[in-house]
Amino acid sequence: TQLLEQSPQFLSIQEGENLTVYCNSSSVFSSLQWYRQEPGEGPVLLVTVVTGGEVKKLKRLTFQFGDARKDSSLHITAAQPGDTGLYLCAGANPDDMRFGAGTRLTVKP
Amino acid sequence: NAGVTQTPKFQVLKTGQSMTLQCAQDMNHEYMSWYRQDPGMGLRLIHYSVGAGITDQGEVPNGYNVSRSTTEDFPLRLLSAAPSQTSVYFCASSSRGWASGATDTQYFGPGTRLTVL
């Protein structure tokens, strides 16, 4: 059983659509990070959130950290084919770093 | 800067063989970590180091050894490879790490794809 559950596991949408992916846990984290990974490469950090209720925006991407610091969401507005990839969340505490299994997003032109 | 480099990119071993996966970074980062990535499992932390001479275990340390004699290098050793160790291995580094409560960017290498027959 994953400590961090990501949903959906797979998502295929058309260019221009909006989407939200989720990262849920029963554990509290000091910080939560979102990464994007492309085939054959290592993950690349998108954002780090540390405060419960925090919302961060990165162009068309909006990240939210839950008030209780147990869950997070990533919302993409007007998705583009370049957004295609595996989106991973990772929760950190001083004695641990855990990743979710990821959401594999495909954006079709 | 080359960032985080890993060698080899691909490796096939037979059960019982030993090998060392190499990882180097040129960013003078204190924190270095090893992860394995398996389908449907995400990345799992194997071992990490908060500085030269200091290492600690992660979520799945069994079957792997590490040492950190320099800031730049953090090799991962498989002493007797098993089919269950077939995976993609990623090395990462950051200036500071989660153990200190920091949230610095973790930079990942390109990975080593290991198959154990």
Are A97 and B98 within 8 A, CB to CB? yes
Is A46 an interface residue toward B (CB < 8 Å)?
Answer: no
Q: A96 at the B interface (CB within 8 A)?
A: yes
Instruction: Give B70→chain A minimum CA distance, Å.
Output: 23
What secondary structure does DSSP assign to chain B, as a single string? ---EEEE-SEEEE-TT--EEEEEEESS--SEEEEEEEETTTEEEEEEEEEETTEEEE-S--TTEEE--SSSSB--EEESS--GGG-EEEEEEEESS-GGGT--PPPEE---EEEEE-
Chain B residues in contact with A90 (beta carbon < 8 A):
43
Q: A99 and B42 in contact by Cβ < 8 A?
A: yes
Tens-digit pLDDT string for chain B (117 aa): 789 999 999 999 999 999 999 999 999 999 999 999 998 888 999 999 999 999 999 999 999 999 999 999 999 999 999 999 999 999 999 988 766 666 788 999 999 999 999
Q: Kindly state the helix (H) or strand (E) to which residue A29 belongs, with its residue range.
A: none
- Optimal mutation site among A34, A47, A97, interface B, most CBs of chain B within 10 A: A97
pLDDT at B42: 87
CB contacts < 8 A (A, B) = 63
Is A102 touching B (CB cutoff 8 A)?
A: yes
Judge whether A2 is closer than 8 Å to chain B, CB to CB: yes
- The nearest alpha carbon in chain B to A47 belongs to B105
pLDDT in tens, A40-94: 999 999 999 988 999 999 999 999 999 999 999 999 999 999 999 999 999 988 8
